[in-house]
Amino acid sequence: VAAQRSTGRPRRATIIDVARLSGVSKSTVSNVVHGAAPVHPDTRAQVLRAIQELGYRPNALARDLKRQRSAMVGVVVGDLSNPFYAELTKLIEQHTASAGYATILCAMNGPTDAERDKIALLLEQQVAGILTMFFGGDAAALDEVTATGVPIVGVSVDDARFDCVVADDALGARLAVRHLAELGHTRIAYVPSHATEASTNAARLEGWKQALRRSRLRRGPIVTLADEPGEDRLVPLAQAMQDVQAPTAYFAGNDITALQVIDRLESAGIAVPRDASVVGFDDIGLSSLGRLSLTTLRQPVADIAALGVSRLLKRVDGDRGAGGRAKQTRLQPELIVRATTASAPG
């Protein structure tokens, strides 16, 4: 049986094979591969030839095991279906890859996924650090990470317990509400998005409340798009338009949600922005399409990714940061006014 197997997968050449073929020791091979110590040109050539001939490829598992540190980082993402997170993931991978790290992708698909187990898996893989775009709030999961001393930084996640690089969500929300208020809207609803990371959603909600207060506006309703499939709380609310209570503007937790809000509204005969205004958050690529023209808050996604990765790698390299305290960085979002917002009707 063993013999049969061996037909299938030829044993990969090891450093020993190379050493034997080129008539030197393991250490010398290692030295020509990594250039850690000087090697005689002739020897080097000899070794290089052997490497070529055998198709030798160093085994990262063995290297990392020996070195006691791996060249892998874990990247945790909540929902890749949301183009914002997909884009962020893409940018993160670019940065980690060019820094020589492999990226282990870890998706938190819905609340069914045990955050702790997923994180544990990452830790078992001996990742050098973790970049997380999602934090469900499982304190135990976080404790495990800190206990092992693996650095973790939140990217588009805001939590006081670890380093974070995020857009200033509260500010963004205030910008959105102010824009709406300036257009004469007085009944502004908030539509949270369950797809967005919790802390992010919370910050946007908070900013919405703040701005409402500052503009001396009564707090509009908080209306979820759909807790259960088929359910619709938005349209009934909006259709009470004659009613003085009905919102004339909706601030959505993110662009996807905003787009869905528009969809619901318009299929119920409520035109955007004529009858109601809608503001999103993120500025995903498609939002700028003429047919959508979503007014939204653009996140500095490139900066978030770059800063997040560089901060993590600094930590990985032993930088304990300022006094070991978690550092939050909030980058400014930018209000992009397009065509889903207009003066309040009536």
Partner DNA sequence: GTGAAAGCGCTAACAT
Partner DNA sequence: ATGTTAGCGCTTTCAC
Site residues, a second copy (CB under 8 A): 5, 8-10, 12, 55, 57-62, 64-65, 70, 72, 75, 79-81, 83, 86-87, 89-90, 93-94, 97, 102-107, 109, 118, 120-126, 144, 147-149, 259-260, 262-263, 266-267, 285-286, 289-292, 318, 320
In one-letter notation, the amino acid at residue 210 is Q
Residue 43 binds: one of DNA, a second copy, none (C-beta under 5 to 8 A by kind): DNA
Contact 171, 179 (CB under 8 A): no
Please work out, in degrees rounded to the nearest 5, the angle formed at the alpha carbon of residue 216 by the alpha carbons of 210 and 222: 55
Partner whose binding site includes residue 33, from DNA, a second copy, none (CB under 5 to 8 Å by kind): DNA
Q: How far is the CB of 117 from DNA (least distance, A)?
A: 17
Q: Using CB under 7 A, list all residues that contact DNA.
A: 11-12, 14-16, 23-28, 30-31, 33-34, 36-40, 42-44, 56-59, 62-63, 65-68
Tell me the residue ranges of DSSP E strands in 78-169.
102-107, 129-132, 152-155, 163-167
Of 201, 204, 212, the closest CA to residue 134 belongs to 201
Supply the minimum distance, in Å, between the C-beta of residue 295 and a second copy: 14
CA gap 177, 291 in Å, rounded:
23
Question: Least distance from C-beta 219 to DNA, angstroms?
Answer: 53
Residue 36 binds which of a second copy, DNA, none (CB < 5-8 A, kind-dependent): DNA
Sole residue written with tokens 């993402």: 77
- Binding at 45: pick from a second copy, DNA, none (beta carbon under 5-8 Å per type): none
- Rounded to a whole number of angstroms, the minimum distance from the CB of residue 25 to DNA is 3
Beta bridge partners of 130: 74, 152
Strands (E), 136-291: 152-155, 163-167, 188-191, 249-252, 277-279
Cβ 118 to a second copy shortest distance, Å: 8
Looking at the Cβ atoms of 35 and 137, the one nearer to DNA is 35
219 contacts: CB under 8 Å, gap ≥ 6? 209, 212
CB of 74: closest distance to a second copy in angstroms? 9
Which listed option, a second copy, DNA, none, makes contact with residue 213 (CB within 5 to 8 Å by class)?
Answer: none
Identify which of residues 37 and 97 has a Cβ nearer to DNA in the complex: 37
Task: Return the closest-CA partner of residue 20 out of 9, 28, 8.
Answer: 28
Of the pair 64, 206, the CB lying nearest a second copy is at 64
Query: How many Å apart are CA 88 and CA 166, to the nearest integer?
Result: 12
